[in-house]
């Protein structure tokens, strides 16, 4: 039987998804048995020209991680779409925008000004900013265009599958690889992770009484390791986040921040989380209510930590 062809690519990403693939450890040898990897810049020397030379549709599966934030990443997304039978949005950035899509609180002008001008150690008296074309004595140097708005992969090209997580845990990756190898992938459009909210798999003790008189921040006290974070007044994205991560952050005694994206049936994770957290506030007095709610800092950055690109409003007003 012919080996499958895989492509693995990274856009606006951190490399963590690629490390996650390696964290399946010796199982990577099983992957090597069933597939040839035709693109994987972090590990292999295939260049863009080699991808362009591939016949359309000749790649069986492309695992694409990272959000789309510049013209090169958009071009690669479209190129790989043409070359691949199935595109997989791999990791929170490709699925939802991820941490890079927090960049949607700003735009190119302000990001450039901050990075290349205003930061404390930057010395740029001539106000030089990166440009898409620079003429140097020897020739011409080009850079991709930096967009104002970060997009998730499905906002740029059609995507067949979504593997959430920041990064996706190794056991989930193994499940996906096995499904590909045995031809047992679900119908296209699926998120390949459990169809429940994280609270369902979380092992913490919880009571019926979920009312909060004061929201606190993680540094203000030492959280009880057994009890539900919400009952301790800590914002936790569990109620509005898909299960499947193994609750690793929670077991390290830190609340969830939502990297597995929304649970099934939820289109806007941030709005749902806002609703859920606000519902905990226990008061019949408007002034008191406002004070309790005021304990939740930075709702935008907290509830849309991983999902700004997919939010209903998409970005901060330009």
3-state secondary structure of 154: helix
**φ, ψ for residue 236, nearest 5 deg:** -135, 135
CB of 302: closest distance to another protein in angstroms?
Answer: 8
Q: In which element (H, E) is residue 302 found?
A: helix 299-303
CB of 14: closest distance to another protein in angstroms?
Answer: 4
Site residues (CB under 8 A) for another protein, limited to 3-22: 3, 10, 12-20, 22
**φ, ψ for residue 145, nearest 5 deg:** -80, 135
Q: Should residue 185 be labelled a site residue for another protein when binding is judged by CB under 8 A?
A: no
Binding-site size for another protein (CB under 8 A) equals 143
Which residue in the set 56, 58, 110, 200 belongs to the binding site for another protein (CB under 8 A)? 110
CB of 188: closest distance to another protein in angstroms?
Answer: 9
How far apart CA 232 and CA 24 sit, in angstroms, is: 35
CB of 137: closest distance to another protein in angstroms?
Answer: 6
String marking each residue 62-91 x if it binds another protein according to CB under 8 A: -------xx-xx------------------
Q: Should residue 195 be labelled a site residue for another protein when binding is judged by CB under 8 A?
A: no
Site residues (CB under 8 A) for another protein, limited to 198-237: 217-223, 225
CB of 156: closest distance to another protein in angstroms?
Answer: 9
How far apart CA 147 and CA 153 sit, in angstroms, is: 14
Site residues (CB under 8 A) for another protein, limited to 268-287: 268, 270-272, 274-275, 277-279, 281, 283-284, 286
How far apart CA 233 and CA 213 sit, in angstroms, is: 8
Which residue in the set 56, 57, 75, 130 belongs to the binding site for another protein (CB under 8 A)? 130
Q: Which two tokens stand for residue 1?
A: 């039987």
* DSSP code for 194: -
How far apart CA 87 and CA 161 sit, in angstroms, is: 7
**φ, ψ for residue 38, nearest 5 deg:** -95, -10
Q: Which two tokens stand for residue 121?
A: 């150690």
Which residue in the set 2, 55, 139, 182 belongs to the binding site for another protein (CB under 8 A)? 139
Q: Which stretch binds another protein (CB under 8 A): 78-86, 140-148, 198-206, 226-234?
A: 140-148
**φ, ψ for residue 101, nearest 5 deg:** -75, -5
Among 136, 144, 32, smallest CA distance to 77 is for 144
CB of 155: closest distance to another protein in angstroms?
Answer: 5
Contact 185, 161 (CB under 8 A): yes
Q: Should residue 43 be labelled a site residue for another protein when binding is judged by CB under 8 A?
A: yes
CB of 232: closest distance to another protein in angstroms?
Answer: 13
């Amino acid at each position: 039987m012919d080996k499958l062809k895989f492509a693995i690519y990274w856009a606006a990403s951190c490399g963590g998804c690629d490390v996650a693939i390696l964290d399946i450890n010796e199982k990577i040898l099983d992957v090597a048995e069933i597939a040839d990897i035709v693109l994987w810049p972090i590990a292999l020397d295939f260049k863009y020209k080699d991808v362009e030379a591939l016949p359309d549709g000749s790649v069986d599966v492309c695992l694409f991680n990272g959000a789309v934030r510049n013209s090169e990443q958009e071009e690669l997304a479209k190129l790989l779409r043409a070359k691949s039978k199935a595109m997989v949005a791999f990791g929170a950035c490709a699925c939802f925008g991820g941490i890079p899509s927090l960049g949607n609180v700003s735009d190119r002008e302000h990001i450039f000004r901050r990075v290349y001008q205003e930061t404390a150690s930057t010395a740029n008296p001539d106000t030089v900013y990166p440009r898409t074309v620079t003429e140097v004595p020897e020739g011409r140097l080009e850079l991709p265009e930096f967009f104002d708005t970060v997009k998730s992969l499905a906002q740029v090209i059609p995507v067949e599958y979504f593997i959430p997580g920041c990064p996706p845990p190794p056991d989930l990756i193994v499940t996906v690889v096995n499904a590909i190898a045995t031809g047992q992938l679900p119908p296209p459009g699926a998120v390949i992770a459990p169809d429940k909210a994280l609270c369902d798999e979380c092992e913490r003790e919880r009571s019926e009484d979920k009312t909060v008189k004061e929201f606190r921040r993680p540094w203000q006290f030492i959280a009880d390791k057994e009890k539900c974070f919400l009952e301790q007044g800590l914002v936790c994205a569990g109620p509005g986040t898909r299960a499947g991560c193994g609750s690793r952050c929670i077991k390290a005694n830190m609340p969830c921040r939502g990297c597995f994206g929304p649970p099934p049936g939820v289109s806007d994770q941030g709005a749902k989380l806002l609703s859920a957290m606000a519902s905990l506030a226990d008061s019949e007095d408007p002034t008191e209510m406002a004070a309790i709610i005021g304990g939740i800092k930075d709702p935008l950055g907290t509830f849309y930590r991983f999902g700004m690109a997919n939010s209903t409003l998409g970005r901060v007003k330009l």
